[in-house]
Structure 1
Amino acid sequence: MSKAKRLWKKTQDMILSLVLGVIIIFAWQQGGLHYILGLKPYQLSYPSDIIRTLDDDLSVIMSNTVWTLKEAVVGILVGSLIGFVIAVFAAAFPKLGVGGISIVTAVNAIPMIAMASIMNNWFGMEMASKVAVVAVFSMASMTLNAYRGMTELPPFSKDLMQICAARKIETFFKLRLPNCLPYMLTALKVSTTTGLMSAICSEFFTSYKGIGYQLTASIKLSQMSVAWAYILVATLCGVLMYAIISIIERVALKWHASQRS
């Protein structure tokens, strides 16, 4: 398929997605979703009410959003760094590394709500507890993906490095790390969504600021348009974070086969 045809196909897909989105929003505004789902306007706010709330309370909403984004971004960076170090250790020392990978897998299976409760109990209401929760789940994702990238090498590549008398440090930087990079970026893509969700979930329990705190407060007060405004902003933040990682991936992996289509 030529470059022009690929561009046209992507444009068509984008147009179809936009048209579908406009149709859904129009049906929502006209009460179609309320009729289908059997909901009242106070249960599902109209798009116009949500936009009006965003306009009226934009400064407050943005302040809480920035707070949650700080928790998510710092947690993702810390957790990803720890996960990468664990993956390097596991790849360098396979016998010990298997146990470490098993522990990380077990930690990743802990329900997010349970982990949020534990971390909030340990670190209190401040940002540290939310960063810790995000770091735990980001660590698991990075560890598993980076370890896979360092161990699932192209056929005969490791043998070729040995034939060339390459040292372990050279094998790491010239073979394992480049092969691991696509897996690391995949882990970061996963972490953008799980990290934001973890931060918001943590704020449900003990917090005085952030998207999660404002969501619970507005729902308790039956201010559904405010709640949906925060949900909309959280969704946009997740999409933006994912898009940033995707752009980094396109730039950093121009040489990789996955970016040639």
Structure 2
Amino acid sequence: MSTTIQDLGAMTPKPRKRFEVPYAWIALVLLVSAWQLACVVFEIGAYLLPAPTAIAKDLMENWRYFMPHIGMTAAEVLIGFLASIAVGLPVAILITFSRVLDRALYPLIVGSQVVPKVAIAPVMLAWFGFGMTPKVAIIITVAFFPVVINSVVGLRSATPQMIYLARSMGASTAQIFWRFRLPQALPSILAGVKMASVLAVIGAVVAEFVGADAGLGYVILSASSTFDVTRQFSAILLLSVLGLLFFWATEWIERRAIPWHVSARNAEH
């Protein structure tokens, strides 16, 4: 009986996946347990620090109240996050390929980050009025910076020798960009996108603090007026989960877009 190479490959035992201790989950369980224990032992009032069980009870009993606010904040974050990429990436490309724009825009972009976003939020509200537009504008001002900075660093990482070799082989500027600069810059670009996904949530909360009638930031603000600290912690927990979901989504895209890069390979192990 003859055995083919495919049969041998099927018969070869595959290496078992190594078990990894979930240190993060263990640390989270210990932290929440210590939090709960401290609230019980020291009889800390809910107006100061609600116990995790009280927060969980509030989320389960009032989930219908939270759902529209979660949807509103998630929509703001998603639109603002995508808009920050749509704004930041072209700006980074222009800065990379134009020395004039590099000297004119790059210092202004860096300097704009020292301006507190809470201070310019009322200005955005005066310019664009109430609604989704001022919130998206505020999220863009918060989230586009890491996209621009990391994209510029990535696009400039192509070595001169590689560019000279491509030009000597007759490659045009567009071909050099699509086949050399952009693939090499993808790890840096996606790193900036991951940072932007987290900052977009912060920008949404800032926008909702200034002017909103829905959203998790609005829930925190309205709960603070009635000293409902448990409701505030519930909204903060939901915001944290929302930020993690956006971050994990960008990580998933990163693993699919650059499976050859060391960051994507390490994430799978």
TM-score by length of 1: 0.90
Aligned partners of 1:64 and 1:183: how far apart in 2? 33
Aligned partners of 1:189 and 1:33: how far apart in 2? 38
Q: Are 2:97 and 1:92 equivalent residues in the alignment? A: yes
Give the structure 2 partner of residue 62 of structure 1. 67
* 1:107-256 equivalent positions in 2, closer than 5 A: 107-154=112-159, 156-256=161-261
In the TM superposition, what is the alpha-carbon distance from 1:240 to its structure 2 partner?
A: 0.9
In the TM superposition, what is the alpha-carbon distance from 1:6 to its structure 2 partner?
A: 8.7
Aligned partners of 2:16 and 2:107: how far apart in 1? 45
Give the structure 1 partner of residue 28 of structure 2. 21
Structure label with greater radius of gyration:
2
CA deviation map 1:196-248 (0-9, x unaligned): 01111111111111111110110110111111111110001111111111111
Aligned partners of 1:4 and 1:235: how far apart in 2? 36
Give the structure 1 partner of residue 9 of structure 2. none
In the TM superposition, what is the alpha-carbon distance from 1:95 to its structure 2 partner?
A: 2.7
CA contact (8 A) 1:34 1:40 kept: no
Identity, % of aligned positions: 24
The one of 111, 119, 123 equivalent to 1:106 is 111
Aligned partners of 1:34 and 1:85: how far apart in 2? 56
CA contact (8 A) 1:189 1:245 kept: yes
Give the structure 1 partner of residue 78 of structure 2. 73
In the TM superposition, what is the alpha-carbon distance from 1:61 to its structure 2 partner?
A: 0.7
CA deviation map 1:93-136 (0-9, x unaligned): 12322311122112222212113222122222211111001112
Give the structure 1 partner of residue 4 of structure 2. none
Aligned partners of 1:210 and 1:101: how far apart in 2? 34
Unaligned runs of 5+ in 2: 1-13
CA contact (8 A) 2:46 2:229 kept: no
Deviates more, 1:58-67 or 1:101-110: 101-110
In the TM superposition, what is the alpha-carbon distance from 1:31 to its structure 2 partner?
A: 2.4
CA contact (8 A) 1:146 1:180 kept: yes
TM-score by length of 2: 0.87
Q: Secondary structure at the match of 2:213?
A: coil
The one of 38, 43, 50 equivalent to 1:31 is 38
Aligned partners of 2:113 and 2:179: how far apart in 1? 30
The 4+ residue runs of structure 1 with deviation greater than 3 A are: 3-8, 32-35
Aligned partners of 2:58 and 2:39: how far apart in 1? 21
Deviates more, 1:128-137 or 1:146-155: 146-155
In the TM superposition, what is the alpha-carbon distance from 1:17 to its structure 2 partner?
A: 2.2
The alpha-carbon distance between structure 1 residues 7 and 125, as it changes in their structure 2 partners (threshold 3 A), is farther
CA contact (8 A) 1:43 1:224 kept: yes
Between the two proteins, the alignment pairs up a number of residues equal to: 253
Q: Secondary structure at the match of 1:125?
A: coil
Aligned partners of 1:186 and 1:142: how far apart in 2? 8
RMSD value over aligned CA atoms? Answer: 2.1
The one of 74, 84, 88 equivalent to 1:83 is 88
The alpha-carbon distance between structure 1 residues 88 and 222, as it changes in their structure 2 partners (threshold 3 A), is same
